[in-house]
Structure formats: C-alpha cells, structure tokens
C-alpha cells in the first residue's frame, strides 16, 4: 500500500466512476504532453550536459537522460520509454538506479484498481542506487553515496502532519514516486528506470552493511509493516497475528519477531509453512474455509493484515484480545468494500485500523533497524525484460517473496 488516499479519492466519483476532476484533467494534459513527444522524439533530445543514459556526468546539472519500462495500457506488456529526469534543483540529488523492487501496488496502479491513470506510466517505488549528482545547496549526500527512495518524493513540508514527520499523511497530498503531479507540472515516473532526480529530504541513506538489492523492498514493503508494528507497540511478550505472507507479510514476520513478539502467520498457501517458521513465526495457521480456529479465540494483542484484496475479516476479529486492533495495510480495488459484521468489533471493544507506509525519518529508522538486526527481504532478481513475467507470478501468489529488478540487466 502506498498511494496517498487523496489520489484515490480524487479519481473517483461516489459511483466509483472516474470523476471529471481538475486533478485528473491536469493529469491528462500534462501526461499527454509528455507522451505526445513520443519515445522516438525523446531519443533525439540532447541533454544539457555530455551525460548519457549509461554514463552521466557526476557533477553535471542535468537534465539526465534516462529510460524505463513503461505501461502503455492497463494490460499490455511494458515497453522501453525514453525520458529526461529534470535538471538538478538546489536541493536535488541525481541517483543512478541499480535496483527497484516490484510492489503489488505497481500492478494495482497500472491495472486501474486504485483509479484511472494516464499512460504511459513507469511505476516502481522501491528504488536503490548511487548518487551521481548533487544540487548546489544539497548537503545530505555526497557523490557515490548509497541511497534509496520509497513511495514519496516530496510533500508540502508545512502542514501539521509534515511538521510531525508524517509526510506520508501530508494534509496537502504528498508527491508520490509515480503517478503524482510533480512540482514541474509533469506526472512523476517511477523506479523501473535508470535515473531519478529527487529532493534530498526524501532520499534515504542505505547503511554499508545492507545490500542495495535488499534495500529496495524495505522502502515500501518494509516501512509499510514497520510503521504499524511500532505504532501499536509490538514488543516482547506481545502475541501478534500476521495475515497473509507475501511481499509485505514476510517482512512483517521478520520485523515483528525482531521486535520480540510471538508471531502467528495466517496464510492461504500451505507451502509457505516452512518459510514462515524460518522467518521467525512460532505458529502457522493455514487459512482454509471451515478451519476451526476456536483455540485461537482472543489470543492476539495485535493483528496486521497484509492481504492486498478484499477478503473475509469476520473470521479474524474474534481472535483479538479485548481492546486489540486489527490493522490493514493491503488494499485491493478501491471499489471493493470490505464489510465487517456489526457485532464483531463491539463484543470485545476491538478496533479496525489502517496504515499507509511511513514518514521519512521513520523509513530511515526502519532501514537502520533492519541493518542492525540483519533483516533482509527474500528476493529474486530479475532483468528489465522480466517484469511482465514477474507481475504474473505476483498475481499468481508465486513470488517468494519479492522480485527486484536489476536495472542494468536486460
Ligand atoms: Zn509499494
Ligand atoms: Zn504536508
């Protein structure tokens, strides 16, 4: 989960149809201008410096010629798209991308599950690479620094949420790494690409102890589960249910275990039982229709639901202790409501909650926590040409557990 709720709301009318909203109108106009140039024309745009897509000038100011894998329709194969990353602003850094994780959100976005989007669109918000250019007043990162970018590349900085470090809940709508209106008027294009230019305040330092390929999935999936685990006080002695064990869920098991909790995994895939135990789960429950969970009644202090589609929540609420919270971080189609029995929450004063990624400092804290505790995602590296196949495997629940694009590999 990663899109700002405002993005979702803006694109739907109450009937669930795309609304004739100014933001969407804007998206059409700017993205058309973007796409209207055409990949072939963009090929002939000369960069301001002598940089090339594969060998940028380290201290050049850009713009940076780049290429990525873009979706041109909700269903079609991804195709190469040439683009230019903006010239460095004073606080920007240019990053040569080496890896980008594949998040279920990428697929939801391109398929239009979270609202209508404009094509072509490059997705990807689990970026990792090296700094190759630094703006005139940027001071946080040097050339060659190992860095990452998650789901946001900017926010208003002034609202109460931003001031409190919750840029992910910016009241004025943050700028998402892809599919958002950027400050230069274009629609942001994500990390399935060779370069990106980002304000340094939204760039995460990757510790030397962490492999860059491992960093990407932590920047969305990792912080998406870390934030609620911390928010709801997961700690030694707490019994925690992790519902669903895919990209988010497998990291939730590792993180909750590292935080000292006793973890039980609920999965629909019996072949994940051994993995769940390897990741630290004390107990694994196969979520099958009709299974008897009576011995787990009111057993859990907290439940984190990572399932990225509508499913039956009524089976899980009675597993919570009094006052415990059931938190969702996975989101399916926005038009799908996920109803819950009227009595379930009342009986033991339970709460149903949601959580959307994490703030920038929180993301840095999570990365540092993972480096310190040697927590890494289970990844399968793929080439740029292997993304379509990887998406099919994600949808077929065959990812074990995160695909990571090796940007330099074709
Ligand atoms: Zn994501
Ligand atoms: Zn804000």
Burial 185-208 (b: 16+ CB within 10 A, else e): ebbbbbbbbbbbbbbbebbbbbee
Render each residue's pLDDT in the chain as its tens digit; 410 residues. 444 444 433 333 333 333 333 333 333 333 333 333 333 333 223 333 334 444 444 445 879 999 999 999 999 899 999 999 999 999 999 999 999 999 999 999 999 999 999 999 999 999 999 999 999 999 999 999 999 999 999 999 999 999 999 999 999 999 999 999 998 889 999 999 999 999 999 999 999 999 999 999 999 999 999 999 999 999 999 999 999 999 999 999 999 999 999 999 999 999 999 999 999 999 999 999 888 999 999 999 999 999 988 999 999 999 999 999 999 998 888 888 888 988 999 999 999 999 999 999 999 999 999 999 999 999 999 999 999 999 999 999 899 999 999 998 87
Ligand 2 centroid distance, CA of 154 (Å): 9
How many angstroms separate the Cα of 81 from the Cα of each of 70, 116, 149, 175, 315?
6, 20, 21, 22, 45
Ligand nearest to the CA of 251: 1
**Residue 60 pLDDT:** 56
Ligand 1 centroid distance, CA of 48 (Å): 33
**Residue 339 pLDDT:** 87
Query: How many Cβ atoms sit within 10 Å of the Cβ of residue 41?
Result: 10
Ligand 2 centroid distance, CA of 13 (Å): 24
Ligand 2 centroid distance, CA of 173 (Å): 7
**Residue 62 pLDDT:** 79
CB 212 within 8 A of CB 143: no
How many angstroms separate the Cα of 354 from the Cα of each of 154, 193, 228, 305, 359?
22, 31, 8, 9, 15
Ligand nearest to the CA of 218: 1
In whole angstroms, give the CA distance from residue 398 to residue 254: 19
Three-state DSSP state, 288: coil
How many angstroms separate the Cα of 82 from the Cα of each of 29, 56, 156, 162, 193?
19, 15, 29, 33, 9
In 74-222, which residue ranges form alpha helices assigned H by DSSP? 104-110, 160-163, 212-217
Ligand nearest to the CA of 223: 1
Q: Of 392, 400, 379, 388, which is closest to residue 126 (Cα–Cα)?
A: 379
Ligand nearest to the CA of 308: 1
Ligand 1 centroid distance, CA of 105 (Å): 5
Ligand nearest to the CA of 222: 1
The pTM of the full predicted model, rounded to 2 decimals, is 0.86
Ligand 1 centroid distance, CA of 57 (Å): 30
Partners of 80 in the β-ladder: 69
**Residue 259 pLDDT:** 98
Ligand 2 centroid distance, CA of 182 (Å): 14
Ligand nearest to the CA of 173: 2
In whole angstroms, give the CA distance from residue 124 to residue 91: 23
Ligand 2 centroid distance, CA of 188 (Å): 18
Ligand 2 centroid distance, CA of 244 (Å): 32
What do you get for the CA distance between the two ends of the chain, in Å?
A: 28
In whole angstroms, give the CA distance from residue 378 to residue 397: 14
Ligand 1 centroid distance, CA of 356 (Å): 10
Ligand 1 centroid distance, CA of 219 (Å): 8
In whole angstroms, give the CA distance from residue 164 to residue 204: 18
Ligand 1 centroid distance, CA of 214 (Å): 14
Q: Of 405, 369, 124, 47, which is closest to residue 230 (Cα–Cα)?
A: 369
């Amino acid at each position: 989960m990663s899109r700002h709720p405002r993005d979702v709301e803006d694109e739907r009318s109450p009937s669930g149809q795309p609304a004739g909203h100014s933001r969407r109108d804007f998206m059409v106009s700017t993205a058309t201008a973007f796409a209207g140039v055409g990949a072939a024309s963009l090929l002939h745009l000369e960069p301001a410096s002598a940089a090339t897509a594969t060998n940028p000038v380290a201290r050049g100011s850009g713009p940076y010629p780049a290429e990525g894998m873009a979706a041109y329709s909700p269903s079609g194969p991804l195709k190469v798209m040439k683009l230019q990353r903006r010239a460095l602003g004073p606080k920007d850094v240019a990053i040569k991308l080496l890896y980008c994780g594949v998040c279920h959100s990428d697929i939801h976005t391109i398929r239009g599950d979270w609202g209508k989007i404009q094509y072509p669109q490059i997705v990807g918000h689990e970026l990792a690479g090296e700094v190759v250019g630094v703006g005139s007043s940027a001071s946080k990162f040097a050339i060659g620094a190992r860095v990452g970018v998650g789901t946001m590349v900017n926010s208003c900085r002034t609202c109460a949420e931003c001031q409190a470090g919750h840029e992910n809940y910016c009241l004025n709508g943050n700028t998402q790494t892809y599919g958002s209106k950027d400050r230069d008027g274009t629609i942001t294009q994500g990390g399935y690409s060779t370069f990106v230019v980002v304000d340094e305040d939204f760039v995460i330092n990757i510790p030397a102890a962490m492999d860059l390929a491992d960093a990407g999935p932590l920047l969305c999936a990792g912080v998406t589960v870390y934030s609620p685990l911390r928010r709801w006080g997961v700690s030694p002695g707490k019994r925690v249910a992790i519902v669903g064990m895919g990209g988010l869920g497998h990291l939730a098991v590792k993180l909750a275990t590292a935080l000292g909790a006793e973890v039980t995994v609920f999965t629909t895939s019996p072949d994940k039982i051994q993995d769940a135990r390897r990741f630290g789960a004390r107990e694994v429950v196969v979520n099958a229709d009709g299974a008897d969970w009576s011995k787990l009644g009111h057993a859990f202090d907290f439940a984190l639901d990572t399932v990225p589609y509508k499913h039956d929540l009524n089976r899980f609420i009675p597993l919570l202790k009094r006052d415990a919270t059931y938190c969702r971080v996975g989101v399916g189609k926005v038009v799908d409501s996920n109803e819950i029995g009227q009595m379930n929450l009342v009986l033991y004063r339970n709460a149903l909650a949601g959580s959307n990624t994490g703030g920038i400092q929180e993301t840095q804290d999570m990365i540092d926590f993972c480096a310190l505790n040697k927590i890494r995602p289970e990844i399968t590296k793929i080439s740029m040409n292997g993304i379509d196949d990887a998406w099919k495997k994600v949808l077929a629940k065959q990812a074990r557990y995160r695909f990571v694009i090796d940007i330099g590999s074709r």
